[in-house]
């Protein structure tokens, strides 16, 4: 029997939206459904006081891949925003990522040679040859002063665990620079879509049928009956009814406030690194687009334990959960008519450019392209 669509796409985040767009270019029809009342997944922005508010945490687009940069710029122009967060620790502000400015603020070192000597001294004193956890990794990368001021307490509140019980890979990506350079990312291309991320999602989903506020699992047989194939971007364990057990996540709670001032903190991201402050950072959304509105909107980001009622933000990629995920992958591989992709289905902490690359790869496989 002829089905109404070629693809049912469960989840309208970047993976689903890119897949739907590419399928359409190849003459295939899709229905994209989302249980939230809006499209776009976690990149969704809500306009408040003329400001694009990142509803599910700050999203800063960055990539080294020129083709991915050109791809997103086809749908909406990106501005020249460069992420340069500052950290408030023990009453003082520090530049991030760790660079010559940070070293000057911390130690008063003025030249790369002085900073390097100080780092080497700290690492020689506190570093270990084979770091077995995040604390040892940090001490081996930057030594005790930076670890205790800017990493330990922030990391422990972010993950709800002692740094000695956390895997070292979490901070492997923190760069250390002997230049005066506060650009958080190393990538060649970086920016924010002018007018917000909804423009990107709307562009991708232009001309594609969508339904929001509908739960795939509430009427699975009905939805499966609408299309030949399913692209599933939700939690992989939920797809299989948690039959092998639940994968663990870390969640976040956002508290958003409109303030009567036009500039609250002078940049988009301020980290609060001390353990006695319950949130990890404050986002002032207007600065992503150099906004000049009379008011401002800020969001405090509180890490929290995850359960099934909460949003799943950060996968806990420890050995246990990684092993469980691998078992779910075996079940997934046996589902001939289902494509699994995106942060939740791949159980990976993806940045946006990586999700787009993953979706484009899935399209190539699905359409047997080289
Ligand atoms: N981190 C830290 N101090 C900071 C910022 C980050 O120790 O001021 C560590 C922390 O362990 C965090 C990791 O670096 O989990 C990655 O942080 P980032 O802000 O890059 O990740 P995001 O949470 O924005 O994805």
Residues 222 and 200 in one domain: yes
In a domain, 76, yes or no: yes
Quick one: which atom of ligand 1 is closest to the CA of 96? 8
Determine contact, residues 190/81, Cβ cutoff 8 Å: yes
Residues 220 and 324 in one domain: yes
In a domain, 263, yes or no: no
User: Which amino acids bring their CB within 6 angstroms of ligand 1?
Assistant: 87, 96, 150-151, 154-155, 158, 170-171, 174, 271, 273
In a domain, 278, yes or no: no
Residues 226 and 340 in one domain: yes
Residues 114 and 167 in one domain: yes
What total of structural domains would you count in the chain?
A: 2
What's the confidence (pLDDT) of residue 66? Answer: 98
Active site residues: 173, 177, 250, 281, 301, 349, 351
Percent of the chain whose predicted confidence (pLDDT) is above 70: 99
pLDDT over threshold 70, residue 172: yes
**C-alpha R_g of the chain:** 22
What's the sign of the alpha-carbon dihedral 84, 88, 93, 95? negative
What's the confidence (pLDDT) of residue 2? Answer: 79
Q: How far is the CA of 72 from the centre of ligand 1 (A)?
A: 26
Residues 73 and 92 in one domain: no
Residues 35 and 121 in one domain: no
Q: How far is the CA of 49 from the centre of ligand 1 (A)?
A: 29
Q: What is the 3-state secondary structure (H, E, C) of 171-231?
A: HCCCCECCCCCCCCCCCCEEECECCCCHHHHHHHCCCCEEEECCCHHHHHHHHHCCEEEEE
Give the pLDDT confidence of 97-151 residue by residue, as tens digits.
999 999 999 999 999 999 999 999 999 998 888 999 999 999 999 999 999 999 9
Q: What is the CATH number of the domain that holds 73?
A: 3.40.50.720
- Of 144, 171, 198, the last residue of a domain is 171
Q: How far is the CA of 15 from the centre of ligand 1 (A)?
A: 24
Q: How far is the CA of 192 from the centre of ligand 1 (A)?
A: 20
Residues 66 and 93 in one domain: no
Q: Which of 154, 156, 164 to mutate to test the pocket of ligand 1 (most atoms within 8 A of CB)?
A: 154
pLDDT over threshold 70, residue 230: yes
pLDDT over threshold 70, residue 343: yes
In a domain, 291, yes or no: no
Q: Which of 60, 94, 105, 158 to mutate to test the pocket of ligand 1 (most atoms within 8 A of CB)?
A: 158
- Of 142, 171, 200, the last residue of a domain is 171
Quick one: which atom of ligand 1 is closest to the CA of 281? 8
Cα distance between residue 145 and residue 150, in whole Å? 8
Residues 229 and 136 in one domain: no
What's the confidence (pLDDT) of residue 175? Answer: 72
More confident residue, 318 or 24: 24
In a domain, 13, yes or no: yes
pLDDT over threshold 70, residue 76: yes
- Bridge partners, residue 305, by sequence: 250
Quick one: which atom of ligand 1 is closest to the CA of 155? 11
Residues 334 and 223 in one domain: yes
Write down the mean pLDDT value for the chain.
Answer: 96
Residues 197 and 124 in one domain: no
pLDDT over threshold 80, residue 174: no
pLDDT over threshold 80, residue 218: yes
In a domain, 277, yes or no: no
What's the confidence (pLDDT) of residue 317? Answer: 84
What's the confidence (pLDDT) of residue 1? Answer: 65
pLDDT over threshold 80, residue 173: no
Give the pLDDT confidence of 274-299 residue by residue, as tens digits.
999 999 999 999 999 999 999 999 99
- Of 171, 202, 223, the last residue of a domain is 171
Nearest CA, atom 11, ligand 1:
155
What's the confidence (pLDDT) of residue 239? Answer: 98
Q: What is the pTM of this model?
A: 0.96
Residues 92 and 61 in one domain: no
What's the confidence (pLDDT) of residue 20? Answer: 98
Determine contact, residues 265/257, Cβ cutoff 8 Å: no
Q: Containing domain of residue 110, as a range?
A: 86-171
In a domain, 66, yes or no: yes
Residues 321 and 234 in one domain: yes
Determine contact, residues 218/238, Cβ cutoff 8 Å: no
Q: Which of 54, 84, 174 to mutate to test the pocket of ligand 1 (most atoms within 8 A of CB)?
A: 174
Cα distance between residue 310 and residue 304, in whole Å? 9
What's the confidence (pLDDT) of residue 318? Answer: 87
In a domain, 214, yes or no: yes
What's the confidence (pLDDT) of residue 370? Answer: 80
* Mean pLDDT for the stretch of residues 198-225: 98
């Amino acid at each position: 029997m002829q089905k109404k669509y070629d693809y049912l796409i469960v989840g309208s985040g970047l993976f689903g939206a890119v897949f739907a767009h590419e399928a359409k270019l190849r003459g295939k029809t899709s229905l994209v459904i989302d249980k939230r009342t809006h499209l776009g997944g976690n990149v969704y922005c809500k306009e408040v006081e003329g400001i694009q508010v990142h509803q599910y945490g700050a999203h800063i687009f960055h990539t080294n891949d020129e083709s991915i940069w050109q791809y997103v710029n086809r749908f909406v122009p990106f501005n020249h925003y460069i992420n340069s967060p500052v950290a408030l620790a023990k009453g003082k502000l520090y530049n991030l990522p760790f660079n010559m400015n940070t070293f000057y603020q911390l130690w008063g070192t003025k030249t790369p040679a002085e900073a390097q000597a100080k780092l080497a001294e700290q690492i020689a004193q506190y570093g270990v040859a084979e770091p077995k956890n995040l604390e040892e990794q940090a001490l081996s990368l930057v030594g005790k002063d930076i670890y205790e001021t800017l990493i330990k307490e922030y990391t422990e509140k972010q993950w709800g665990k002692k740094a000695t019980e956390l895997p070292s890979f979490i901070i492997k990506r923190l760069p250390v620079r002997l230049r005066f350079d506060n650009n958080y990312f190393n990538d060649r291309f970086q920016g924010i879509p002018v007018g917000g991320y909804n423009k990107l999602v709307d562009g991708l989903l232009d001309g594609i049928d969508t339904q929001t506020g509908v739960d795939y699992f509430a009427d699975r047989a009905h939805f499966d009956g609408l299309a030949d194939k399913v692209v599933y971007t939700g939690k992989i364990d939920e797809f299989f009814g948690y039959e092998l057990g639940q994968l663990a996540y870390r969640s976040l709670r956002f508290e958003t406030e409109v303030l009567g001032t036009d500039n609250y903190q002078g940049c988009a991201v301020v980290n609060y690194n001390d353990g006695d402050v319950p949130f990890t950072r404050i986002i002032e959304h207007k600065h992503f687009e150099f906004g000049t509105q009379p008011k401002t909107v800020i969001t405090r980001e509180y890490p929290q334990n995850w359960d099934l009622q909460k949003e799943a933000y950060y996968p806990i990629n420890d050995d246990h959960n990684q092993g469980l995920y691998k078992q779910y992958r075996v079940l997934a591989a046996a589902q001939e008519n289902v494509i699994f992709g995106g942060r939740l289905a791949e159980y990976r902490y993806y940045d946006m450019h990586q999700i787009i690359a993953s979706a484009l790869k899935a399209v190539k496989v699905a359409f047997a392209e080289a």
